[in-house]
Structures are given as structure tokens and as C-alpha cells.
Structure 1
Amino acid sequence: MKSVVPSWAGAAGSVVGVTELHVDPDRGYDLIGDIHGCAQTLEHLLDTLGYRQQGGVWRHPRRMAIFLGDLVDRGPRIREALHLVYAMVEAGQALCIMGNHEYNALGWTTPAAPGSGRQFVREHTPRHARLIRETLEQFEAYPGEWREFLDWFYELPLFLDAGRFRVVHACWDDSLIDPLRAQFADGCVDEAFIQASAVPGSFACTTMDRLLRGTDMRLPHGLTLTSEDGFTRAHFRTKFWADNPQTYGDIVFQPDALPELAAQTPLSELQKNQLLRYGHHEPMLFVGHYWRRGRPSAIRPNLACLDYSAVMYGKLVAYRLDQETRLDAGKFVWVNVERPERVS
């Protein structure tokens, strides 16, 4: 990005290229779930974690934040959230990976490859327009900033691997990450890869969908379900770590429950064998994306989801990672999203 002076910050700030991504496995990290424009709540969480604003940047003397993506869409202060996170990354106080909503924004604005039969990578359907509406409206008076943030999204890696722990927005899949890493050593893709992701069945399409949206399965018996946002679909999001699942209900991982008939339907042996499994022996993995509810906790000793529906008056959640190799239930920190956060 070029120099951006956020009017809300109250002081001029210089914004230059993102610092080189490097994860020091011996440093303390605060991993933070999906923000979706809840900038006020993010400030509250950072303050709770001991970060203080100095020179327009939230800083901690001994720790660094890692954001799990989905900074944009849905919330009331998307522009402020982007400036806050970007400033931290540029100052070496944070790392940030790409979420599916940053990818969606790139797809919305990236022309599709010739011969694809579409105008943009992400087609401008009414549903897609509704999902990105708040972001576009909040940047309507700042088109130059929005273009620069879109450029910055290309500098957000799809994953981070520190050896002892890993970070990805939705799902870790070595069968995709290994060849991706061979092509893009830093995990940051380019415009050609985004364009290629519009081709169903392509490596780019499969990679972006799996890493940023997770695994899914078609509902049995021709059933469909309608989510809270009114979208009717025939697929549901699945666990990628299930041990010995027997039914569809054993593998569902999304806010919307399956129809009872579907939940009780047995999985075939072929379906069981096709499920992705993140093993108990693997390094600690942190994901966002899945709109969890209740008291933040680990899914397994080596797996945590930090998305607790902040933009839906849930919780903005962090995990305070130090030198442990298995998750500690006492190190989840969160703040509740107060109703004023949703007032534009």
C-alpha cells in the first residue's frame, strides 16, 4: 500500500509495504478470531490483552498479534478495522492471514479470465452483493484507500506454519498446502491464481475453497437447509478432525443444525474414508470462520476455533500462546460485543 492517512486516527500516518512475514516460535502470540468490522470491540480486546496505542499503532512490549482473517464485511466499522490491523502489521506488531471475505473482495473486483463465461471471478449475484454491501458502502467516499487495501490483501498469506503451531482461516490440508507452498513459498497468491480459482475443479479453486471455507458434504435424501442469513443450500460444513464418525450428525460443524433425518443418516464406508482428518499428533492449529457460540474452548488439545460470532453480538476471542505444545483452557481471552458496536 501507499501512504494512507486515516481520518479517524486523528493523526497522519505513513503506510508502506507490509513487513516480511516471519513467525518466531519462541515469541508470545495472541491469536485473534474473525473481526468483521467490529473495530471498537477489537480495541477493547487489545486493551484487555495489554496492548497500548502508541504513535497510532496498538503495541505490546513482548507479544505479537496474529489475526485469522475476515476483517471485512457485515460490521459497522470495517474501514477502521482494516486501518487498525494494517497499521499493526506494517509496524511489525501483528501478522494477518487471508480469510474467505478478503478473498471474496478480491474476487468481486478481479476480472475473470477470458473464456470463463463470467465478468468477475466472484459473480455479482444479489447474495454476493449483499455480503459485501457494508464494505463497499463504508469505502464509498474513499475509493483510493479501498484499491490499496485490495492490493494489500495479496500480501496476506493463506496460512502460517511455525512448526510448533499453525494458522489457517478454515482448514489445514497438507495435500493442498504442500504444492501451494512449492508455488508460493510465502503462502501469498497472485492475481493469476485468483483468476484461476474461478474455474471449478482447478487446483486454485479447490485450494481457496478448502483453506478458506473448509470441507463440506452434500445433504442426503435430496434435503436442503436454510441458514440464518436466508441462504438455502444443499451442502453443509463438516469437521476435518472427526474420530470414528458414524452419522452425518457426527461430522457437522456449522451454526445451522442439520434436518433430523439427515443428522441420523449413517455415513457410508466410502464417505468415512474420504473425510479429511487432522490428527491428534499434528501441531496446534488455530482457525476462525465457523461462527461458534458459548464459552470459548479448545475443540481438541491441538485444535481451536477462535470465531465466536463477534459481528452477531457474540464474542471476539483470542488465545494467548506462549511455549505450550497443547492448548491450555485458561488461555482463552474474550470480550463480549456490546450492542453499540453495531450502530453505524
Structure 2
Amino acid sequence: MTNNHDSDTSTAAGAAPRTLPVPDLSLVVLVGASGSGKSTFARRHFKPTEIVSSDFCRGLVADDENDQSASGDAFDVLHYIAGKRLAAGRLTVVDATSVQSESRKQLVRLAREHDVLPVAVVLDLPEEVCLARNAARPDRADMPRHVVQRHRRELRRSLRGLEREGFRKVHILRTEEEAESAEVVLERRYNDLRHLTGPFDIIGDIHGCRSELDTLLGKLGYVDGAHPEGRTAVFVGDLVDRGPDSPGVLRRVMSMVAAGTALCVPGNHENKLGRYLAGRKVQRTHGLAETIEQLEREDAEHPEFRQRVREFIDGLVSHYVLDGGDLVVCHAGLPEKYHGRTSGRVRSHALYGDTTGETDEFGLPVRYPWAEEYRGRAAVVYGHTPVPATSWINNTICLDTGVVFGGRMTALRWPERELVDVPAEKVWYEPARPLSTEAPGGREGRPLDLADVRGRRVVETRHMGRIAVREENAAAALEVMSRFAVDPRLLPYLPPTMAPTATSREDGFLEHPAEAFAQYAADGVERVVCEEKHMGSRAVALVCRDAAAATARFGTDGPAGALYTRTGRPFLDDQALTGGVL
């Protein structure tokens, strides 16, 4: 968007100042000839730490801000500093002439690498103003006129093409009065809703299942789309396709969003429907044909509805950062480096996720397991890939439990982290791939894989942070568990084991209290209370209501629970006795 005033326009006395909107996380590039007032403008509107000046970088590498022979190294430093600031999520302002398209191209590329918007602020001031300002500076008093003239020629050739170069906003100031009276206003990014703290009810993929949606909203406590306690519903997308009433789902969600009782992010199915409604050529597959047919039936009674749907989809934001940054909601999951960022790459990942490039036995793409590598502070709640049962993985959770395929529709209460779901009324659409498989872990939607125990892995823990598990330790544990443990599906918990003391230096002893007390002292423990220990064995009991409950929850075929030791081995050898105890 270009914010432009003609060259013969000046700000009259008392006239309202120019307002220059700038996203609060962006790369602002000041463009103008030497002497146009870029540095003055930067100091007036931005923090000193936000400004990266080519003159300052030139001084860093050459001890002389005017040493043009050091420009190459100076811009290497400038790009490095700007990149580090953008990576950290900080507004960055580049103070350089930037009148040449090649220099701007590098800055636009830098903004795209860090998924922020590039903004150009152009100071296209008259030649005589630039010359007078340079003459007033001792370090530039002898600058030839032709240098300023060349800068202005290069700038003039570039003005019309700045948006084509990739700048999302272009602000042009043509007079001293405009430059001096302009006000920079930082705009909150559309995806930044950190000020909204909930509580929220985050609802997984719906796929046209209007009846199940109404049932779930009722179970969550909503009445006519509003919650009596002021809770806000958040929809993770894929509202449409495959199910029996996509228009009904859209009407319900659109009305809640318009009333301020809900938020919604787009799914890949809304994205495709939006392209169809815009007249683009798309394949009518994966349930789109059914949605189109349902919308055509709506046209006769509500001809304006189709346009309202198109406008609604066009206005959806790829993801939201909520609750002070503790919660991120998107459709297909989002690594931490993309949270709060704005680019086509971020939107694509939020809509479609990432794949390994492979296809499974059903011909479907294999999703890249990004959640297993996630170590971010914010909880990420998403959908997109149906799972038979939802569970937390590294502070992420998938809420698509395949309602349209005969599974369930699931919601997450936040911040309670409580799951609420309702069953599908029927199988509305046959899945191309079964929701669950018989492979270990298949009931949870994540079958075990050789890679789980091959190579070094990092596990995120609640109290001990990140713990590395070496391949040899994982292989040894797999060997022991496969030989001696109870069914791993019945091992939801293994109690912690006290670490042994260091090997004793006393002759004839493997362990000795002296090493234990020495370790306590080294750890700052001043007093140790010793008690006699009963040498009995601890048992962990997993008790289910009956065998049917165990089968429904854990996928086992047999006992109504388990009784095992701290290492996962059966506590009793007699299965009948174990059953009696349980």
C-alpha cells in the first residue's frame, strides 16, 4: 500500500500531520538521497536500539563513518545485526540511502527470511534541501552536487516499483514540512491477540457436521452461540467439506465471530473454497463437491450468503497468538519460529503443515512430525490430521478426532486444559486412511517407529527441562522392556528411581555412606535425616472398571488393568492372583 502525496503538496499550518502506519514487527527501510534527513527522522520516531545505520557500521569496521571503501564490510555488519534483531522478533529500522534497487532487494530478502513485512519510508526531498543540509555538516560539506543528483535520479527511477519489489507498505514524504510533522504509528499485527486472555474453548475440525457442533457447543455451555460466563470459542478451521451441512456450520461460526463470541482461523478446506468462490479453477475433490452442491441449494433462498462466505474466508488470519503469548491456535500446527510472524510461508505452514515428501500405503502424504521436535514456550493447539485419540505432545495438541469419519468432535478448555468431546452421529464420509491401526501406538494416531529408539533423542520434562537420551540407552531399555515388561500400553507411569552414589573408595565396598554424605554436602545440603528403610517392593496399580473399559481406553484384550514394579515388570507371576488383587 502506497501512502503518497504529490510533490507540490505541502502541509499547511495547523493541518493534520501525516500518519505512517508501521507493523510493530517489521523491517523499516528508510530511502532517500544523502542529506534528505533519514537519520533525523529515525531518531525522532524510533528507539536508538531499533536503528541500524550504515554510517555507524562503516565506523565500526573502518573508524570513519565516511570511508566509502569500507561500505561492503559495513553492509555485511548491517545485514547481520538486522537479521539477529528480526530473528529475536524486534522491530528494526535500516538507516541507509537505499536508493539502488539491488541494495533494497537484499533487505527485502532479509525480511522474508525472517517472515516479517518490509516497509519503505521514502524521503523524496528537493535537491536544494539535501545540498543545504550536507553543507551544514562538517563531515559532508565538500560532498559534490552530482552525488546528490545521482541519488535522486536513482530514487526517481525506483518510486513506482517499490511495491513490486516486495514492500508491503510504502510511505513517501516530499517536503520538509511533511517529514517534520509526520507521525509513525505502530500497528498490532492481525495475529497478535496476546491481550485476549480467555477463557477459551478451542474446537477441532468440524467438516460440515452441524448437528455435532451444536451438541458440543451445548455441552460446553453455549446458548445460541454465546457462553453465559463470557468464554470465547476458537475454531481451528476446516469448517466445511465432506459433512452434511457445511452452510449450517458456516452460518453458526460466522454469526459467533461477528458477535464477538468466537475467533476462527482458516483451514486448508476454507482456503480452497475461498479460491473457488473467487472464480479460481480448483479440483472439486476431498468433499468440496458436496459443499458446492449445498451452497447452490442455499442460493435460491439466500442469494447473498455466498458473498458473505467469501468475505468471511478472505478475512481469516493464518494463526492467533493468545493469552499473553502462552497459546497459539492454528490449523495445521506451527513451529515456534513462525509464531506471530507474517509471510506467505507462515500462512502456508499454518494451513497445510509440512510433509516428508513421501506417501503412505494409502497414497497420502506423510506429515513431518514437527510436534515431536517442538520445544516452544507457547502451547500450540491445532487440527488438520485426524487422530483416533488426542493427547499432549511437547506442549502441542491436535484436536481433529475425525468426527466426519465417524470419530468424535473435540474441544479443549483453556486454560483448564480439559478435553470435552461428543461422538459422531454416523460415518458421514469414508476416510482414505483408517483413523487407527493395529500397530503399537496406532490407537493414539502415532504408531511406534524405529526412529523412536534409533539415534539421540531429546525429551521435554516438566521439572527437569530437556533430557537427552542416547541411542545405546534407548536400545537397552527397549531390549529390557520387550523381554520382561508388561504390555507397554498398560504402563502410563514409571516412578522415579533414586540415583546411586558414586563408587566407594573404601576397600571391599561398592557403595558407602561416606560418598552419599559427601555428595549431599557438595549440593549444599547441611542436614540429612536417616531412617530405617523397610526392604519391601513398591507396586504400581493401574485399575480399570472392567476388561471392556481397559480395551476401550488402552486397546488391550485381557486384564482389567496391570500391577507392576517400578521397572515395568509384572509384580506377580500369577495372572489369576493379579486379577484378584485388581
1:307 matched to 2:386: no
Q: Which has the higher helix share?
A: 2
SS in 2 for 1:307: coil
Return the offset for 1:290. Answer: 1.0
Q: Quick check: 1:60–1:93 contact (8 Å CA) kept in 2?
A: no
How far apart, in 2, do the equivalents of 1:209 and 1:22 lie? 20
Deviation of 1:52 (Å): 1.4
Partner of 2:268: 100
Paired AA for residue 310 in structure 1: V
Residue 374 of structure 2 corresponds to residue 278 of structure 1: yes
SS of structure 1 residue aligned to 2:393: coil
Shift of 1:35: 0.7
Relative to structure 1, the CA distance from residue 341 to residue 41 in structure 2 (aligned partners, 3 Å threshold; closer, same or farther) is: farther
State the alpha-carbon separation in 1 of the partners of residues 197 and 355 from structure 2: 35
Which string of whole-angstrom CA distances, capped at 9 and with x for unpartnered residues, describes residues 235-285 of structure 1? 41111132xxxxxxxxxxxxxxxxxxxxxxxxxxxxxxxxxx421x42111
**SS in structure 2 of the partner of residue 106 of structure 1:** helix
- Give deviations 1:84-127, integer Å, cap 9, x for gaps: 1111111111111111111111223435xxxxxxxx3xx433xx
Which residue of 2 is the match for residue 272 of structure 1?
Answer: none
Q: TM (normalized to structure 1)?
A: 0.62
Q: Whose relative contact order is higher, 1 or 2, with alpha carbons under 8 Å and at least 6 apart?
A: 1
C-alpha contact 2:333 2:383 (8 A) present in aligned 1: no
Say whether residues 1:38 and 2:209 are aligned partners. Answer: yes
Counterpart for residue 124 of structure 1: 282
Matched residue pairs, number? Answer: 234
Residues 97 and 42 of structure 1: CA distance in aligned 2, closer, same or farther (over 3 Å):
same
| One of 144, 150, 155 as aligned partner of 2:304 | 144
Task: Judge conservation of contact 2:382–2:397 (CA < 8 Å) in 1.
Answer: yes
Quick one: distance in 2 between partners of 1:239 and 1:144?
42
Amino acid at match of 2:393: I
CA shift digits 1:186-235 (9 cap, x unpaired): xxxxxxxxxxxxxxxxx63x44431111111123xxxx4353xxxx35x4
> Equivalents in 1 of 2:287, 2:347: separation in Å?
18
The equivalent residue for 2:218 is: 47
Closer, same or farther: CA 304–177 of 1 in aligned 2, 3 Å: closer
Partner of 1:95, secondary structure, is: strand
Deviation per residue, 1:109-155 (Å, 9 max, x gap): 435xxxxxxxx3xx433xx4453111111110325312210111122
CA contact (8 A) 1:88 1:94 kept: yes
Partner Cα distance (1:297, 1:130) in 2: 26
How far apart are the structure 2 equivalents of 1:213 and 1:135? 20
1:41 is displaced (CA, Å) by 0.5
Q: State the distance in 2 between where 1:58 and 1:340 align.
A: 29
Q: 1:1-344 maps to which residues of 2 (within 5 A)? A: 22=193, 24-53=195-224, 57-110=225-278, 120=280, 123-125=281-283, 128-129=284-285, 131-141=287-297, 142=299, 143-162=303-322, 163-176=325-338, 179-180=341-342, 204=344, 206-219=345-358, 224-227=359-362, 232-233=363-364, 235-242=365-372, 277-279=373-375, 281-294=376-389, 296-300=390-394, 302-322=395-415, 328=417, 331-339=418-426
Q: CA RMSD in A?
A: 2.6
How far apart, in 2, do the equivalents of 1:86 and 1:104 lie? 18
**Match of 2:288, SS?**
helix
The CA distance in 1 between the partners of 2:341 and 2:413, in whole Å, is 31
**How far apart, CA to CA, are the structure 2 residues paired with 1:304 and 1:177?**
16
The one-letter amino acid of 1:278's match is Y
Moved over 6 A (4+): none
Native 8 Å contact 1:97 1:159 kept in 2: yes
Partners of 2:329 and 2:403 in 1: CA distance: 19
8 Å CA contact 1:67–1:96 kept in 2: the answer is yes
Residue 77 to residue 97, structure 1, CA distance change in 2 (3 Å): same
Q: What one-letter code is carried by the residue in structure 1 that aligns with 2:220?
A: L
The answer as to whether partners of 1:21 and 1:95 remain within 8 angstroms in 2 is: no
Structure 1 residues 165 and 124: CA distance shift in structure 2, 3 A: closer
| % identity of equivalent residues | 30
Compared CA separation, residues 341 and 25, structure 1 to 2 (3 A): same
| d(CA) in 2 for partners of 1:136, 1:304 | 31
Change in Cα spacing, 1:52 to 1:209, as seen in structure 2 (3 Å) is same
In structure 1, the gaps of 5 or more residues are 1-19, 112-119, 181-202, 243-276
